[in-house]
Amino acid sequence: MNYNYDGDNMNKIKYFTYLNLITENKKIHDLKTYALENHVPIIQKESLDLIITIIKVSQSKKILEIGSAIGYSAINFALLNEKITVTTIERDEQMVKEAKQNIKSFNLEKQIHLISSDALLIDEHELGHEFDLIFIDAAKSQYQKFFEKYTKCLRKGGMVITDNILFHDLIFETDIKNRNTRQLVKKIKNYNEWLKNNHLFDTRFFNIGDGVSISIKK
């Protein structure tokens, strides 16, 4: 199959999508389809592809995820290498139930440790080891608190990846009518600025998916 690129920016995006197209694991495809059909928030493909590449290049083995949902991203991470372990935290009981079933269906119980709790209520010191990578994809209003709490468990040179830092491009809107949405957008913008000026980490921001930040611990 060939793709004819005519120089248009939208065609450029389609061209790179075509170049990066790979055959997807059927079970992963079915899990993603289920999430989309049932309005379960999961990571966008472009963001997932970026994180998977980072895990491979950095050879990260110990991963902490804040926000499991139905286990979609944790399962993708664990499938990369049998030596990868993922500790993932989720507070929604229904999501925990579904995530457990999905993890079991992929035979990943030994690699994925699912904690049913509010991530802000856990004693982070009880997690037991330094992580190579932390993925934050939970309550956006709490991003900074998650970051400050769990980077204590991150090794030097380890990474924190935060998803949805553009919040469906709402951070660019100047006239948001809904008060709760307006406050949430403000918190996300404040978090991005805080990351930018956090001198304990080297952070870069990427216009991929719904926006991704990568922070490396100095």
Q: What percent of the chain has pLDDT over 90?
A: 74
Task: Supply φ then ψ for residue 86, to 5 degrees.
Answer: -125, 125
Domain containing 47 equals 42-217
Instruction: State the chain's maximal CA–CA distance in angstroms.
Output: 55
What is the pLDDT, as a whole number, of residue 3? 46
Task: Give me the sheet containing 154-163, strands edge to edge.
Answer: 112-116, 85-90, 62-66, 131-136, 154-163, 212-217, 201-206
Task: Supply φ then ψ for residue 40, to 5 degrees.
Answer: -90, 125
Whether 206 maps to a domain, the answer reads: yes
What is the pLDDT, as a whole number, of residue 68? 96
Rounded average pLDDT over 140-167:
95
Whether 212 maps to a domain, the answer reads: yes
User: What is the DSSP code string of 29-40?
Assistant: HHHHHHHHHTT-
Whether 4 maps to a domain, the answer reads: no
Whether 7 maps to a domain, the answer reads: no
Whether 14 maps to a domain, the answer reads: no
pLDDT band at 33 (very low <50, low <70, confident <90, very high): very high
Please list, residue by residue across 71-82, b when 16 or more beta carbons sit within 10 angstroms of its beta carbon and e when fewer do: bbbbbbbbbeee
Whether 209 maps to a domain, the answer reads: yes
Total count of domains within the chain: 1
Whether 16 maps to a domain, the answer reads: no
CATH code, domain with 107: 3.40.50.150
Whether 115 maps to a domain, the answer reads: yes
Per residue in 34-93, pLDDT (tens digit) is 999 999 999 999 999 999 999 999 999 999 999 999 999 999 999 999 999 999 999 999
